[in-house]
Amino acid sequence: MATPEPSQRPARNGSRRNPKAANAAALLFTWGSLAMVLVAGLLLLHVFQEDVEPYVGYYILAVSGTAVLFIYLTVALRKERIIPVQGRVPIVIWTCIVLAAGLAGTIIASPKIAAENMATSPRLTWIDGQDPSTSITISWITTFPEATHVLYSTNRWTLDHASTDGPATLFHHVTLSGLAPNQTYYYQVPGHPVKQFKTAPVGQFNYTFYAWSDHRTNTDILSSYTQPNAVASIASYAATTGVPGAFTIFTGDMTSKANDYMSWKAFFDDIAYQDWTSNKSLAIAYGNHERYGDAEKSIVKNYFPYPQKADTNFFYSFDYGGVHFIMLDPYLEGHSWASNFTTTQLAWLEADLAAHQDANFTLIFMHPPPSSLTGVRGELIKLVNVGGYRIDMAFCGHQHVFERRTIASTPPIDVLVLGLGGNPNNEYKSNACDTAFARFDVTTTAITVTSIFINGTILDSFTIAA
């Protein structure tokens, strides 16, 4: 008996497939799977990145959807067949595989792309020499380049003053000047609700501020989910005790590395807790992690308004209620590790101390402990012993410990190392609580410094007399 020609063989099901029906079914499955990717991706984006501008999500989903369509059309529909791989894998299973791949790509890619295109809430600070009683600087990031402005007034309902930002950019820094001392102001940047701040009184007065270092985003993005947010804890403590604090200082290591945008976004989200840094200033001293992967320091230069000096570092000072605050950045030019002051920074520091000898107190804030850096320690001793300048204490982090130290100048400089701002790799990681901050209570005659675990337990307290 003759074997029929291949073209004459009957189909296994007793009939041949209809090519038009096959193509129609294939297109139905293709566009159906694409729609499922879009819907599921939007839901995931809403859950995990709900504050991100919508176009970012559409971009991600368009890419993943196109990939699904391309794979399906090139593999499943080759030779006008809807059963790929020689008929062994049913089309529904193949569609599910492709759909799962598209969703996995969306889940993995969306947070990173969203972070790289993040928009942030406005945050307040002071730059070099700015007078907190008459001026303030507002910074924020937009998803698209904009030439924008800040509206402000002492009346929340009539924001009749404006300060412009300049050319279109993603990174906005607007300084408000000519403000009245000890006055509440309301302000608004486009796309955000009205915020508020209060200028400092003139002269000497009693007040409290808070400080912390080495935030939970210092290690990696996972710590943002496993470790407590120090800013939320400070805000809760301030509300519970009825001591809101005039401002906050952070001494570095905001991110795991400069180009880790997911950590940056997590940090900006953390400090925006209950408008904490939208309603009161946050002064920052940079750490070593902000330099990793960014030798030019362009990222921090974009994100924050602090002027970059001739040695490429960032250092500045301001006065608040009889206290002179110095924010130092003791990193060698072009390096991400501390060693000593550059000649530029040392000359600036001596001139700054000389210009503020009438301050009741002088406090230094920096990331690495000066007591651990031979060069920095030696220069500070020389400034006190030889120059005759007063430096009361230094607050720092970098080392994930709590320690009280002393620099043996005459008189000595107190050093508080409190690198417990949420980083999980610290000496208290086996405790029930391993995150801490410092409270500074300032009067005209003394400063009391209290180190506090976020559960309210007091680690240490000491007083500096004027």
Domain-located, residue 151: no
Domain-located, residue 183: no
- Residue 213: which of 372, 396, 460 has the closest Cα? 396
Indicate whether 211 and 288 sit together in one domain: yes
Domain-located, residue 3: no
Indicate whether 129 and 59 sit together in one domain: no
Indicate whether 103 and 218 sit together in one domain: no
Indicate whether 77 and 127 sit together in one domain: no
Are residues 256 and 294 in contact, defined by beta-carbon separation less than 8 angstroms?
no
Tokens read off for 314: 């960032």
Phi-psi label, residue 321: left if phi above 0, alpha if psi -120 to 50, beta otherwise: left
Phi-psi label, residue 87: left if phi above 0, alpha if psi -120 to 50, beta otherwise: left
- Return the number of other C-beta atoms located less than 10 Å from residue 205's C-beta: 15
Q: What is the pLDDT of residue 55?
A: 42
- Residue 171: which of 118, 208, 214 has the closest Cα? 118
Indicate whether 66 and 211 sit together in one domain: no
Q: Give the count of domains, the chain.
A: 2
State the SS3 of the chain. CCCCCHHHCCCCCCCCCCHHHHHHHHHHHHHHHHHHHHHHHHHHHHHHCCCCCHHHHHHHHHHHHHHHHHHHHHHHCHHHCCCCCCCCCCHHHHHHHHHHHHHHHHHHHHHHHHHHCCCCCCEEECCCCCCCCCCEEEEEEEEEEECCEEEEECCCCCCCEEEECCCCEEEEEEEECCCCCCCEEEEECCCCCCEEEECCCCCCCCEEEEEECCEHHHCCCCHHHHCCCHHHHHHHHHHHHCCCCCCEEECCCCCCCCCCHHHHHHHHHHHCHHHHHHHCEEEECCCCHHHCCCCCCHHHHHHCCCCCCCCCCCCEEEEECCEEEEECCCECCCCCCECCCCHHHHHHHHHHHHHCCCCCEEEEECCCCHHHCHHHHHHHHHHHHCCCCCCCEEEECCCCCEEEEEECCCCCEEEEEECCCECCCCCCCCCCCCCEEEEEEECCCEEEEEEEECCCCEEEEEEEEC
**φ, ψ at 174 (rounded to 5°):** -120, 125
Residue pLDDT, tens place only, 321-369:
999 999 999 987 666 676 789 999 999 999 999 999 999 999 999 999 9
Domain-located, residue 70: yes
pLDDT tens, per residue, the chain with 466 residues:
455 555 454 444 444 555 655 566 566 666 666 666 665 565 555 444 434 444 444 455 555 555 555 555 555 555 445 444 444 455 555 556 666 666 665 555 555 555 567 889 999 999 998 999 999 999 999 988 999 999 999 999 999 999 998 889 999 999 999 999 999 999 999 999 999 999 999 999 999 999 999 999 887 777 777 889 999 999 999 999 999 999 999 999 999 888 888 889 899 999 999 999 999 999 999 999 998 888 778 889 999 999 899 888 999 999 999 999 999 999 876 666 767 899 999 999 999 999 999 999 999 999 999 988 889 999 999 999 999 999 999 999 999 999 999 999 999 999 999 999 998 888 777 777 889 999 999 999 999 999 999 999 999 999 999 8
Are residues 245 and 280 in contact, defined by beta-carbon separation less than 8 angstroms?
yes
Domain-located, residue 139: no
Domain-located, residue 399: yes
- Residue 276: which of 236, 240, 326 has the closest Cα? 236
Q: In this structure, are strands 184-188 and 149-153 parallel, antiparallel, or unpaired? A: antiparallel
Domain that residue 33 falls in? 15-116
Indicate whether 216 and 99 sit together in one domain: no
Cis peptide before 132 (omega within 30 of 0): no
Q: What is the pLDDT of residue 424?
A: 85
Give the span between the Cα atoms of 398 and 41, in whole angstroms: 39
Indicate whether 90 and 214 sit together in one domain: no
- Among the candidates 83, 116, 149, a domain finishes at 116
Are residues 316 and 307 in contact, defined by beta-carbon separation less than 8 angstroms?
yes
CATH number for position 404: 3.60.21.10
Indicate whether 27 and 129 sit together in one domain: no
Are residues 76 and 94 in contact, defined by beta-carbon separation less than 8 angstroms?
yes
Domain-located, residue 99: yes
- Among the candidates 116, 143, 176, a domain finishes at 116
Tokens read off for 29: 């499955």
Give the span between the Cα atoms of 459 and 424, in whole angstroms: 18
- Among the candidates 57, 82, 116, a domain finishes at 116
Q: What is the pLDDT of residue 19?
A: 61
Indicate whether 77 and 92 sit together in one domain: yes
Indicate whether 26 and 129 sit together in one domain: no
Q: How many residues does the chain have?
A: 466
Indicate whether 258 and 353 sit together in one domain: yes
Domain-located, residue 148: no
- Residue 173: which of 165, 183, 184, 181 has the closest Cα? 165
Indicate whether 102 and 228 sit together in one domain: no
Give the span between the Cα atoms of 371 and 353, in whole angstroms: 19
Angle at 376 between CA 263 and CA 413, to 5 degrees: 100
User: Going by C-beta distance under 8 Å and a sequence separation of 6 or more, which residues neighbour residue 3?
Assistant: none
